[in-house]
Structure 1
């Protein structure tokens, strides 16, 4: 089985008129989310020594609130959300799959894809902000950082998490392309 066959089965056929760069960007998005998910699972679920916990704030709890199942759920949901970017270049992003009740076989309204993708891209702007603050040793809310890394742990953390800073701009790029392609607006 070829890589192309595996990818076609995973996401369906590429929609007509989608350039190669857009397909590559769509596939890149789940891949840039994957390292952070693996880091979280390794560190919090399997207790690989990728981090240490700093002092607890008053009334704080040990570990990540919610436990190991929360980390697994967060990672799965993150990957699923990232995979939806593939819908912006696939046939299933233009036509509801037949198995979807009531909507199956109907065209997906352009704005039904553009609005959630645009709002998602806006929400994902937290990652460049958060990573910049963490790189400066600051938490997002000006509290002291509880997750502490040293030496190689810091390098691995940044290698695994900085790619998330590209998720929002890549999603914006795909969303604008999807909207223009579906509404037949030229890029010129």
Structure 2
């Protein structure tokens, strides 16, 4: 029995709309400024903190965490692109054991939707950054960090929009397949 034949779609989903492709790629860009800021701190630049405020970030553990967080955020954002690319429909053949198999739409939609909700909740207060006290930062640093983190408020909504587009395209393809 050919497992690849069983897992291949009967009807292909429509191409993603241009706005969804742009939104998916934009997710990687909205994460970038805050990641670069954290990497600057890993490299020893206080990045807006006072001398005393920067001390907790000088430990190896803090640096490892900031670097890991920056890379993980970018990788998670990159996964959104899978919702508009072929590898979001068929697992690339180079991946051992599962390569070439069809991605079940809900296996992509469920984690993407949960992630979109979590990201929205996580970053919803970023627009009010300047209303919170940050005594451990310089005035310029407080302003700069606020600006660098503002795009993060878009991450969840962008992911949600791309996820909805993916779901609708695959639901329509499934309906076409069941009426044939």
Larger fraction in helix: 2
User: Are the structure 2 counterparts of residues 20 and 30 from structure 1 closer, same or farther at C-alpha, using a change threshold of 3 Å?
Assistant: same
RMSD: 2.4
Larger RCO, structures 1/2 (Cα 8 Å, 6+ apart): 2
User: Are the structure 2 counterparts of residues 54 and 127 from structure 1 closer, same or farther at C-alpha, using a change threshold of 3 Å?
Assistant: farther
- How does the TM-score come out when normalised to structure 1? 0.75
**Do 1:96 and 1:104's aligned partners in 2 also have CA atoms closer than 8 Å?**
yes
Hey, what does 2:176 align to over in structure 1? none
Shift of 1:127: 0.8
Name the CA distance, whole Å, in 1 between partners of 2:49 and 2:91.
43
Hey, what does 2:16 align to over in structure 1? 18
User: Are the structure 2 counterparts of residues 62 and 119 from structure 1 closer, same or farther at C-alpha, using a change threshold of 3 Å?
Assistant: same
Give the alignment partner of residue 123 of structure 2, picking from 107, 123, 127: 127
Name the CA distance, whole Å, in 2 between partners of 1:83 and 1:147.
32
**Do 2:44 and 2:58's aligned partners in 1 also have CA atoms closer than 8 Å?**
no
Name the CA distance, whole Å, in 2 between partners of 1:166 and 1:147.
26
Hey, what does 2:71 align to over in structure 1? 76
Give the alignment partner of residue 52 of structure 1, picking from 37, 50, 55: 50
Hey, what does 1:37 align to over in structure 2? 35
Shift of 1:101: 2.3
**Do 2:57 and 2:63's aligned partners in 1 also have CA atoms closer than 8 Å?**
no
Name the CA distance, whole Å, in 2 between partners of 1:104 and 1:148.
48
- Gapped regions of structure 2 (runs ≥ 5): 1-12, 174-180
1:126-179 CA-to-partner distances (Å, cap 9, x unmatched) read 1122x14532115xxxxxx4642313x223212210000000000000000000
**Do 1:43 and 1:51's aligned partners in 2 also have CA atoms closer than 8 Å?**
no
User: Are the structure 2 counterparts of residues 146 and 82 from structure 1 closer, same or farther at C-alpha, using a change threshold of 3 Å?
Assistant: farther
- How does the TM-score come out when normalised to structure 2? 0.78
Name the CA distance, whole Å, in 1 between partners of 2:99 and 2:169.
22
Structure number, greater radius of gyration: 2
Shift of 1:67: 2.1
**Do 2:83 and 2:162's aligned partners in 1 also have CA atoms closer than 8 Å?**
yes
How many residues end up aligned between the 2 structures? Answer: 159
Shift of 1:120: 0.8
Name the CA distance, whole Å, in 2 between partners of 1:113 and 1:159.
32
